[in-house]
Amino acid sequence: MKITQVEAIPFAIPYRKPLRFASGEVNTADHVLVRVHTEDGVVGVAEAPPRPYTYGETQESIVAVIRKIFAPELVGMSALEREAIHARLHRTVGNPAAKAAIDMALWDVIGKSLQVPVTQLLGGYTDRMRVSHMVGFASPAHMVAEAQRVRSEYGITTFKVKVGRRPYTLDVEACRALREGLGEDVELYIDGNRGWTPSESARALDEMSDLGLTLAEELCPADDVLGRRWLVQQCKIPFVADESVARPGEVARELLSGAANAISIKTARTGFTTSQRVLAQCEGLGVEAVIGNQIDGQIGTMCSVVFGAAFRLTSQRAGELSNFLDMSDDLLTDPVRIVDGTVAVRSQPGLGIEIDPEKLARYRQDN
């Protein structure tokens, strides 16, 4: 399993409509395909989605750090030397999506080499994940119409509502419209992407106390240390840390300081290896974990399903696995399918996915 090449291939696929939320807007999936080659002819794949407004990475920076720094460090190593590989990656500060994609591609290599699905290597708890769909910024009527369409077409009954605009009018109005339009048998939770202050968050939650919300995610910045702790103490539903917990040390800080009492795990920023460590922290401290979404394409979505289905804790809640529906195309030969509100893991070795060479040639940006 000696590594012979690490590729970073930029590609761009337009979205059918912009995805809007408090910290940014996405019109095109400007992602990076990562491929790890071995001397045995095995190729592992993963996807790195840049989020400059969250972690500072761009498509260009991911390509550069992999090609110029990470690839030369890893060529010649065995894919099984995961701890040594991580030690070399962590010599470089930051770059979470680049590191995560390399980690997941290595797991794909190991699974393919052993002829075993990665989800079984990780834990093999169940064979599918329930899906949560993100409802982005729009008018309340449009948000309700989208949620109703997604429920009708895909059987999804859990919805994450993006808030963080005007808390006392538009955001509350949108959540109330969704509850009225979808009924009581649908799960709703909110994500502020750090768009509110602690006091705005407290008032908005109070005004929505009758809506049966199940989670509140990153309503205000982690830098609002005292305000956030004050908010969590009075919040009657789990307060989920997301952007503020990109590393295990940050997970410990947020949980032990009382600034959060649930964690969003995103394989796009912590891969499989570090995500396992975050999950162990959650289990050890008795807090809930949610499988989040980095606005992944189908490759990243399948990675989330592979990890989320592998463990009991992460499979208890619906995972955020549907953002790829808004992309106009993708790179897989066998697309991800949502059936009856779930995505199933695949029985093929590794991640169970293959890249369509014609689509890659069409969308890659470095030809």
Round to whole Å and give the CA distance between 240 and 209: 17
Residue 66 gets which letter from DSSP? I
Distance of CA 362 to the CA centre of its chain: 25
Residue 127 a catalytic site member:
no
Burial of 142 (0-12, 13-18, 19+ CB in 10 A): middle
Round to whole Å and give the CA distance between 100 and 107: 11
Would you put residue 230 in left (φ > 0), alpha (ψ -120 to 50) or beta?
alpha
- Which position among 162, 171, 200, 330 bears the catalytic label? 162
- Which position among 47, 57, 108, 191 bears the catalytic label? 191
Residue 68 a catalytic site member:
no
Round to whole Å and give the CA distance between 84 and 79: 10
- Which position among 242, 296, 320, 330 bears the catalytic label? 242
- Which position among 217, 243, 296, 330 bears the catalytic label? 217
Residue 162 a catalytic site member:
yes
Maximum alpha-carbon separation in the chain: 60
Residue 266 a catalytic site member:
yes
Coil vs helix vs strand at 161? strand
In this structure, what are the phi and psi dihedrals at residue 200, rounded to the nearest 5 degrees?
-60, -40
Residue 191 a catalytic site member:
yes
- Which position among 99, 112, 160, 266 bears the catalytic label? 266
Coil vs helix vs strand at 296? coil
Q: Which residues contact 166 (CB under 8 A, 6 or more apart)?
A: none
Please list the active-site residues. Answer: 162, 191, 217, 242, 266, 294
